[in-house]
Each structure stands twice: as structure tokens, then as C-alpha cells.
Structure 1
Amino acid sequence: MPHPTRQRILITGASSGLGEGMARRFAAMGRDLALVARRAELLDALEKDLLAGHPGIRVTTAALDVDDPEAVARVVPALADELGGLDRVVVNAGIGKGASIGTGKAWANRATLLTNVLGSHAQCEAAMELFRAQGAGHLVLISSVASIRGMRGTRTAYGASKAALNALAEGMRSDVYGSQIRISTILPGYIETDINVGRRGPFTVGLDKGVQALTEVIEREPVRGYVPEWPWRAVAGLLRVLPLPVVRRLT
């Protein structure tokens, strides 16, 4: 059964990286966009750029810190009202700070867990409330291949935060199973973004290629998608079964 066109799309963390890239790709596809991020000046510049390049679409923006759950609960429905509803919400805002546990960087690990877990949870609450009221919608959680196994060093808290998103998504999916609400968990590998500085491996792809693969996967609305599909679906399968001494050398 073909998926409906998701015309009105909200993207968090839209001022740079994957969020900005998705906004540009979806704008080129003629979609209407609600874009949020902490850096309002970057959002304003992006809005002007998108409207100049694609005058037929609607774009609305708002400054938002997803660490503030009350602000998320207020801003998301307000943007939905501006667009007359939302068909898809992409939970993308996140950070990648971190260090090995117990090495004096607890603040960085806590910040990553706060934003990536509780910030994402706040976005899910707001999106699912809208989708339940509408009876339909597509919720997309941007996870990571780093969520499949426990990661060492700078990726410990980051991987744990993304593993929490996988479980959150599956729980929500079970909750609304059989409805017209779709929930996708997307696991990118290494894509050249600021969040992946110091975390890039041999299969790293450029931002443009990564964003193209990402939007194509999102459009298919899978339960779980890998970006790019090759090699990350195969790598994910291996990570699940390899012994820890091998995993730590690979990652």
C-alpha cells in the first residue's frame, strides 16, 4: 500500500547538519515546512533561502530549545496550527558531546543524555498528541548505528541515548499498532556533520549523499531504516553478534 504524501513536515535541529539538509531536500520536493532550532538567525536565513528557491511552498520557523519540555509542548502545536496540521515530525535535534565514564566529563555525558533522551521524549509527546487527535501521521526518530551495541570512549553516552530512542520508538509503535500513525526509527552511520567530528570511520559519506539517502529512507516509512543502506544494514547485523573485544576495535 503506497504511503500518503506527507505535505506538512516539522524538523527539529533544522539550522545545520542533517536537519538543514533534510529541510532543503523536502523543500525541493514541494513540501511545506516547520523548522525549529536554538539558533534563530540561522533559521531565518534558511527560511529566506528556501522560499527564494521554492516560492510555492510554505515555511514557518521558531527558536526552540528541546531541553525545555514546556516550550516544546507550546511551540509544536503552534507551528501545526500555522500549517493547518502536521503530517510528519522528524525528531532530529541532538548533540554528540561525551567522554569515557568516570574521566571527569560527567557534564558532557549528562548534556548528551538530557538532550537526546529527554529532549526527544518531549518532541514525541507533542507529536503523538497531535497525531492521535488527527488519527494519522508519521513520526521519525533519528537514532544511530551507535545505538546497537555499547560504545566506548566519546560515544558511550551518545550510543546509550540513541538506544533509548530505539526502545521509545518501539513502545510507541506497539501503542498505536494497527492505526494510521506510522513510526520510523532511522539509524545513520557516519555522515560528515559537526556531531560526527572525531567519530568518522572508513565508511563515512559526505553530507549531500547522506542527506539524500536519509530522505529517501524516510519517504519509504520503514519501521527501521539504515543510512546509507549499504553498508550499514550489514554492519548493524554484525555488530549484534560480534564479541565485545571485536566490537571495541571496530568502533
Structure 2
Amino acid sequence: MLREKIIITGASSGLGEGMAREFAARGRSLGLAARRLDRLDELAGELRSQAKQVAISKLDVTNVESVPVVFDALADELGGLDRVIVNAGLGKGAPIGTGHAAANIETIETNLVGALAQIEAAMSIFRKQNAGHLVLVSSMSAVRGMPKAQAAYSASKAGLSALGQGLQAEMARTPIKVTVLLPGYIETDINRGVKTSMMTDTDTGVKAMVAAIEAERTRAAVPSWPWTPISWGLKFLPDALSSKLI
């Protein structure tokens, strides 16, 4: 099924921008939302020659009351809504108990509370029309709790994955589909400074994400290699072994 009208949050940079470019190249209608309206405006200008339509809106997902207002307005401008990609996220964090609680709290507020606000807004629209595709951009770090500065980020993404799994069970016999993406290390601002041989360039990572979205897979580690076997290893191996994969 072709999902023509798509909202993407966190679209001003990184994976959100990459997905916007990929879907624009496929001729879709896009509603792009992010905090940086100037960057969205610039991006929209670049995409309008390819996309069927591009609408933009400033959105801070931690302002939870504004989320349904923005989603409804973008859906109205697009003339409907087929898919929402909950992508807006934050990678701040510090080892817990080291005096930097604000960074960890902000990460939870953005990645989990803000994501829930987006899910509520999207599902409200999808339930009314009895159709739609919800995509949650979680993380490989959701599979098993991460240490030190990644602890709060990992917890926020685990919560997001759990929300997706719950909705998948609830919507299993309906026309509403739910996809949970688990990206591994993909070159973005969040992963800047991470030194690993498993880093994937942004273009390759985005293409893998879009392919999984278009296939409407229930759960997808992306790119599939090496992250699918790693995801199962993190989930099922004993702590002594799985800790070596973190």
C-alpha cells in the first residue's frame, strides 16, 4: 500500500532530514516538523522540486499540548495523513548520580514523553479514519540497558519500543500498522564522537530505514547487517557475553 502523505518529526537534520530527502525523491507529500524552522524552510525549498507537496511547522515535542495542534494542521495542509514517523530525539546524557541530572531528564522528556505525545496525536487521527502507519524510531540501545552516559537514552528508547509493541498487539487485526525501527550506529550528530568499526554512513543507514518503513515491517534492526544478529545477541545472551557487545 502506498503511503502518500507523511509527517516526519525531527526533520531539520540527521536521520529525519535524510528520510525527508528519500521520500521526496519518491514523490510523496511531506509534513516536516522540528524546532529549527529556518532549517526546515531551507530544506523544504530544496525538496519541493521532487516532492508532491511539502508543508512545514515549528515543533518542540516537549511542549506536549502543541503536538496534536501541529499534527492536525499539517494533516489538513496535506489533505490527509497516511504515515507518521516519530523521529524527534535527543542524545544528551551523563552517568547517573554525577550531578548532571538535568541532561538525563531532558533526554527522557524528549525521547519518551515527547514521543508519547506524538503517538497520541498520530493515533487519534488514525483511529478516526481507521487507517494509517505509525513508525517509531527507537534504537539498538533499547534492546538492553546501556551504561554511563547512555543509560537515560537507552531507557527512553526502551520505553518507546514498549509503546510500539503494545500498539502492535492492540492494532494487530486493524488497518492501522505500527513499525518499530532499531537503528544501530549511523553517522548523525547524536553519534558524533563515537569510535566504532560498525558505524554506517548516513545515506546507507537512511536507505535501510526507508526500505523497512516501506515494507511496513513490525520490527527492524537497521541496517540489517550487522544489527539484526547483534540485536538478538543483546536480547538473549547472558550478561557476561552481551556486555561485550555494548
Equivalent in the alignment of 2:15: 18
Equivalent in the alignment of 1:30: 27
Equivalent in the alignment of 1:83: 78
Q: Does 1:66 align with 2:24?
A: no
Corresponding letter in the other structure for 1:49? E
Q: What are the within-5 Å matches in structure 2 for residues 169-188 of structure 1?
A: 169-188=164-183
Per-residue deviation, 1:73: 1.4
Structure 1 residue matching 2:172: 3-state secondary structure? coil
Per-residue deviation, 1:197: 2.0
| Structure 1 residue ranges, 4+ long, deviating more than 6 angstroms after superposition | none
**Residues 233 and 242 of structure 2 are in contact (CA less than 8 Å); yes or no, is this contact kept in structure 1?**
no
Equivalent in the alignment of 2:149: 154
Q: TM-score, normalised by structure 1?
A: 0.95
Equivalent in the alignment of 1:198: 193
Per-residue deviation, 1:17: 0.1
Equivalent in the alignment of 1:241: 236
In the alignment, the residues of structure 2 paired with residue 75 and residue 17 of structure 1 have an alpha-carbon distance, to the nearest angstrom, of 21
Equivalent in the alignment of 2:40: 43
Structure 1 residue matching 2:40: 3-state secondary structure? helix
Equivalent in the alignment of 1:100: 95
Q: Deviations over 1:74-129 (max 9, x none)?
A: 11011101111110000000001111111111111101000000000000000000
Q: Deviations over 1:147-171 (max 9, x none)?
A: 1111001111111100001110111
Contiguous gaps of at least 5 residues in structure 2: none
Per-residue deviation, 1:200: 4.7
**Residues 234 and 245 of structure 2 are in contact (CA less than 8 Å); yes or no, is this contact kept in structure 1?**
no
Corresponding letter in the other structure for 2:54? V
Number of equivalenced pairs:
246
Determine which of 111, 130, 139 is the counterpart of 1:144.
Answer: 139
Q: TM-score, normalised by structure 2?
A: 0.97
Contiguous gaps of at least 5 residues in structure 1: none
Structure 2 residue matching 1:60: 3-state secondary structure? strand
Identity fraction in percent:
52
In the alignment, the residues of structure 2 paired with residue 101 and residue 247 of structure 1 have an alpha-carbon distance, to the nearest angstrom, of 21
